[in-house]
Amino acid sequence: CARLPPVPSSSSAQQTSQHQRTSKRTSSDKLWKDGESESATAALTHDFLPDNSFLFSNEKGWLLLGKDALHRHGIKVRSVTVPDGSLCLGPTFLRWLLHHVVGQDTLVMNWLVALFGGRGYVYASGSREVYNLSQGSQFMNNAHMEYGKLVALKFGVLCTSTFLFFITTTLVSFTLRETQERMLKFTFLLQHHVRHRLS
């Protein structure tokens, strides 16, 4: 699935919004200016991209360059198009879940995190934002923690829940018992006072 043959970049404009396109830009320099808005700049420079397109780069600055700047600097772009009916997306029901429940952004992000080990940045044309893949890799590392740590975490949650349940029930029971005793005492004193006044 990750070794699909590259599609020429000239045909990417003819792809429909039902296709996913990932592009990798290779570079070593960083041209992004500090303090500049990522999403605003990227939105201005990537209007030529079709919907559901994703751009990947090891450096954030290359994702903010427009089509003319890419051509001027001689940056080569490798395109990979994954059709909706691709076998790497699984059976029909699973493809429907991926497109309508999970979402294409999540699917592509997981692919790129697994492929590049959480290094690099991704520009999503749908949301027009730049994402840092290192945050996704940290989440994936936490998801694959050791079995012993997972058991310890679950046991800690169970102990905390049991302690809170015990404290809550004890406080409620104490409050009800005290209220009942005070009400009985008040009733007894009231009866005693009424009897003495009547006699």
pLDDT, tens digit only, all 199 positions of the chain: 443 333 333 333 333 333 333 343 333 333 333 333 344 344 444 555 666 777 788 888 777 777 788 788 888 777 777 777 777 777 888 888 877 777 777 777 777 887 877 788 887 777 777 888 777 655 555 555 566 777 888 899 999 999 999 999 999 999 999 999 999 999 998 888 888 877 6
Letter for the amino acid at 197? R
Give the global pTM. 0.44
